[in-house]
């Protein structure tokens, strides 16, 4: 019986290693009443502080794929819109459940309950060093070039234990552009599955 239980546990653990993982993004997007033309052409805009950032071109390449998925076309010489991007990854120490340490209500350990040859036990376990989590944030501001007015603004955030921005940033830009160009009002959760 113990052997069967061990094999089932091992099979369950191994099945969790493949497949997909979920990027649960908190998204807030706002569109103005100005219609965004289908197949609209855009160019990327950089703030002076972004001009020398080596990651700027990488973030633009990631966002370009997401913008193409919603029907916008990059055309630097004949652009109708400009797209201003933001992307940030911030590590932080977290408790066992992923809450930031030092936050009111956050904890520094976990309750452990177990049984052994000496009987049942209850204890308070500590994880040192605490695990590192990552807060990802992307933003996109779409501006109508002839008028200079912002016509679309969106932001998506995700907190998780993974440090692989090459997979998570594309998922966040996809989530940020969900329901483009007519997003629902308020903050909503958008789930995107990506390979493990």
Across the chain, which distance is largest between two alpha carbons, in Å?
77
Judge whether residue 18 has pLDDT over 80: no
Using pLDDT thresholds of 50, 70 and 90, give the confidence band for residue 13.
very low
- Give the start-end residues of each E strand in 10-149: 20-31, 41-45, 73-74, 81-93, 109-116, 119-126, 132-144
Please give the pLDDT value at position 4: 46
What percent of the chain lies above the pLDDT cut of 90? 60
Comparison of pLDDT for 4 and 176, the residue scoring more: 176
- Read off the pLDDT of residues 144-154 as tens digits, 9 standing for 90 and up: 999 999 999 99
Comparison of pLDDT for 33 and 152, the residue scoring more: 152
Q: What is the DSSP string of 113-141?
A: EEEETTEEEEEEEE-SSPPEEEEEEEEEE
How far, in whole angstroms, is CA 124 from its chain's centroid?
32
CA dist 19 and 122 (Å) reads: 35
Q: Is 180 helix (H, G, I), strand (E, B) or coil?
A: coil
The token duo for 51 is 């001009």
- Read off the pLDDT of residues 99-118 as tens digits, 9 standing for 90 and up: 676 554 444 444 555 555 65
Please give the pLDDT value at position 157: 98
| Contact call for residues 152 and 142 (beta carbons, < 8 A) | yes
- Read off the pLDDT of residues 88-101 as tens digits, 9 standing for 90 and up: 999 998 876 666 76
Question: Which residue matches tokens 């009443």?
Answer: 33
Query: What radius of gyration do the chain's Cα atoms show?
Result: 22
For 131, residues 6+ apart whose C-beta sits below 8 A from its C-beta are 93, 94, 96, 161
Report the range of poorest mean pLDDT among 45-54, 161-170, 183-192: 45-54
Query: Whole-model pTM?
Result: 0.76
- Read off the pLDDT of residues 125-143 as tens digits, 9 standing for 90 and up: 555 677 889 999 999 999 9
Q: Is 27 helix (H, G, I), strand (E, B) or coil?
A: strand
């Amino acid at each position: 019986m113990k052997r069967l239980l061990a094999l089932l546990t091992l099979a369950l653990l191994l099945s969790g290693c493949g497949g997909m993982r979920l990027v649960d993004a908190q998204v807030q997007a706002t569109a103005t009443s100005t219609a965004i033309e289908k197949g609209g052409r855009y160019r990327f805009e950089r703030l002076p502080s972004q001009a020398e950032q080596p990651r700027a071109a990488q973030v633009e390449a990631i966002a370009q794929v997401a913008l193409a998925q919603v029907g916008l076309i990059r055309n630097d010489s004949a652009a109708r819109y400009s797209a201003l991007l933001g992307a940030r990854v911030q590590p932080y120490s977290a408790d066992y459940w992923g809450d930031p340490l030092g936050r009111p209500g956050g904890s520094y350990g976990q309750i452990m309950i177990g049984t052994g040859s000496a009987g049942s036990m209850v204890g308070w376990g500590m994880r040192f060093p605490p695990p590192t989590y990552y807060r990802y944030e992307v933003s996109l501001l779409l501006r109508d070039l002839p008028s200079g007015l912002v016509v679309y603004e969106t932001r998506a955030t995700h907190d998780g234990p993974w440090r692989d921005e090459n997979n998570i940033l594309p998922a966040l830009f996809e989530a940020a552009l969900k329901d483009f160009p007519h997003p629902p009002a308020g903050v909503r959760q958008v789930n995107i599955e990506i390979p493990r």
